[in-house]
Structure 1
Amino acid sequence: MATTNLNIRTDKTIKEQADQIYSELGLSMTAAINMFLRATIRTNGIPFSLTLNEPNQTTIEAIEEGRRIARDPNVKGYHSIDELKAALDV
């Protein structure tokens, strides 16, 4: 198998964090990058979903519930964390 060099630039912290994870998995950075490249070939594209930061249905429902609660004058509100803790008996 003929090999070639691949030079990439990345943030130092990102590289160090990824290298730590790969090391714990028993992989070198080279092996991990090769796995990514092979997965790219196998899937004929990026081997994971690329999406915009749009919330899923569960998150949308939670946001809507929060908005309903915020508009409801019958829901008890608190003006400080101490007031909330006292209400929770914490």
Structure 2
Amino acid sequence: MATSPTQIRIDQTVKKEANALFSELGMDMSSAVNMFLRQCILRGGIPFPVELPKYNKETMAAMVEAKRISHDHNVPSYSNMEDLLKALEE
């Protein structure tokens, strides 16, 4: 199969997270993009629904905060419920 080099622009964070995911799945970015494109051709369109989320502003703000917290190494994390409850009581 002849291949053709293609260049696309991707947000750095999205690329990093996608590469990590694809690596866990045993593939690289090129394989994942090829799989996506083949599914588009097979289905005659995007192979998943493309729609705007119907979340209210409060929910969207909570999701943004949760993402920020999940990436903040200064926020404590707990591996079991006992430690969490102990920290809450302090």
Query: TM-score category by the smaller chain?
Result: 0.5 to 0.7
Q: Which runs of 5+ in 2 are unaligned?
A: 56-90
**In the alignment, which residue of structure 2 is the partner of 1:9?**
9
Secondary structure in 2 matching 1:37:
helix
TM-score, with normalisation over the residues of structure 1?
0.58
Residue identity in the other structure for 1:48: F
TM-score, with normalisation over the residues of structure 2?
0.58
Q: Distance in 2 between matches of 1:5 and 1:19?
A: 18
Say if 2:21 is the partner of 1:21. yes
Identical residues among aligned pairs (%):
47
Q: Which runs of 5+ in 1 are unaligned?
A: 56-90
**In the alignment, which residue of structure 2 is the partner of 1:45?**
45
Residue identity in the other structure for 2:46: I
**In the alignment, which residue of structure 1 is the partner of 2:35?**
35
Moved over 4 A (4+): none
Q: Distance in 1 between matches of 2:31 and 2:14?
A: 17
Residue identity in the other structure for 2:15: K
Q: Distance in 1 between matches of 2:13 and 2:22?
A: 14
Residues 39-74 of structure 1 show CA distances to partners (whole Å, capped at 9, x for unaligned) of 00000000100112236xxxxxxxxxxxxxxxxxxx
What RMSD, in angstroms, separates the aligned Cα atoms of the two structures? 1.1
Q: Distance in 2 between matches of 1:22 and 1:7?
A: 19
| Greater radius of gyration (CA) | 1
